[in-house]
Amino acid sequence: MVAVTVTSCVTEVDGTAAPPTTHAVAGSTETPAPSSDSRAPSGDDEGIAAPGECVDGNDPTPVDCEEPHTVEITATGSFGGAMAEEPPGRDEIFAAVFPSCRQEAADYLGSNDFDLTTLSAWLLWAGEDAWARGERWYRCGVVELDKANAAKQRTGSIRHALRGDGVHAYRLCSLTAPAEESPAPASCDRPHRGEAVALVPMGERTDPMPSEQDFHSAAKDACEKAVVDYLGATRDDVSAAWRWPDETAWKQGFNNLTCYLQTEKPVMASLRGIKTKPLPQ
């Protein structure tokens, strides 16, 4: 069963290209050369938001994070060497830069488990017009994703938001069944059929990508156990499902498979710790 998960994770300032997509395969227990620096930017990109500052939409000028914004900046960088000679392609940029942006996101948010949440790493870089002016900057950032997997406008900082019980506060719940369709983010206290419960590390982006059999073998026991631990009991009306990255996403640093619980009908609240109580339908 194959599905596509669309995760927006880029803003090309002054650019016109659409955001990239991250493809994933679904499984279930059911039968059906740049540099990166977290310090302040150099004078070459003066006026572009620095780490700890925020930006709104396609404007890289910093705004107060207490005001409406979409992206919170975590690190700065600039394209050098061959990548600075002409505008690099999107795939080249993501392969070179996004893995470090994902690590910056984990450090900034306070948890390596941010893929279980609606918080995501983000990447902005100088688009064609800015490039023509001699700009070579990029910025790593973090965002909160909306129901369309786009950067949501919000107020207030999400720095260290995933410390303690923060992962649950921002947990990714899905209106769709994860084994059947791309997860469609939904509030966990609204109707949903899936909840992200655990990540299973599958290697490094420099490793060969595991085979489909490898993913299934790793997922079956790990995800079934993760769902039972999350629920607090074994249940017949909740199953385990899982998704993993395609080769492009693997090279960009998406090196985990994600375990989900899945229900036959929508539930109205999180199932964390529900044990044997009736499902909230």
Q: Tokens 């899905």 correspond to what residue?
A: 174
Specify the amino acid at residue 148.
Answer: A
d(CA 135, CA 153): 26
pLDDT of residue 87: 78
Phi, psi angle pair for 85, to nearest 5°: -70, -35
Q: Do the beta carbons of residue 271 and residue 261 sit within 8 Å?
A: yes
Provide the pLDDT for residue 91: 85
pLDDT at res. 129: 84
Contact criterion met (CB below 8 Å) for 23 and 199? no
The full set of domain ranges for the chain reads 2-144, 171-267
Distance separating alpha carbons of residues 39 and 51, to the nearest angstrom: 7
Which backbone phi and psi does 91 adopt, to 5 degrees? Answer: -65, -40
| CA separation for the pair 20, 46 (Å, rounded) | 28
pTM: 0.85
CB 257 within 8 A of CB 246: no
Q: How many residues does the chain have?
A: 281
- Amino acid (one-letter) located at 262: Q
Q: How far apart are the first and last CA of the chain?
A: 27
pLDDT recorded at residue 256: 95
Q: What is the pLDDT along the chain (281 residues), one digit of tens a residue?
A: 222 233 444 433 333 222 333 334 556 554 334 444 544 444 457 789 999 999 998 889 999 999 999 999 999 999 888 777 777 888 888 888 999 999 999 999 999 999 999 999 999 998 888 888 888 999 999 999 998 888 999 999 999 999 999 999 999 999 999 999 889 999 999 999 999 999 999 999 999 999 999 999 999 999 999 999 999 999 999 999 999 999 989 989 999 999 999 999 999 999 999 999 999 99
- SS3 labels along 113-161: CHHHECEEEEEEEECHHHHHCCCCEEEEEEEEECCCCCECCECCCCCCC
| SS3 (DSSP) at 55 | strand
Q: What is the pLDDT of residue 28?
A: 52
Site of tokens 């909740």? 238
pLDDT score of 16: 24
pLDDT of 122:
95
Q: Are 199 and 218 in contact (CB under 8 A)?
A: no
Find tokens 């790793």 and name the residue. Answer: 218
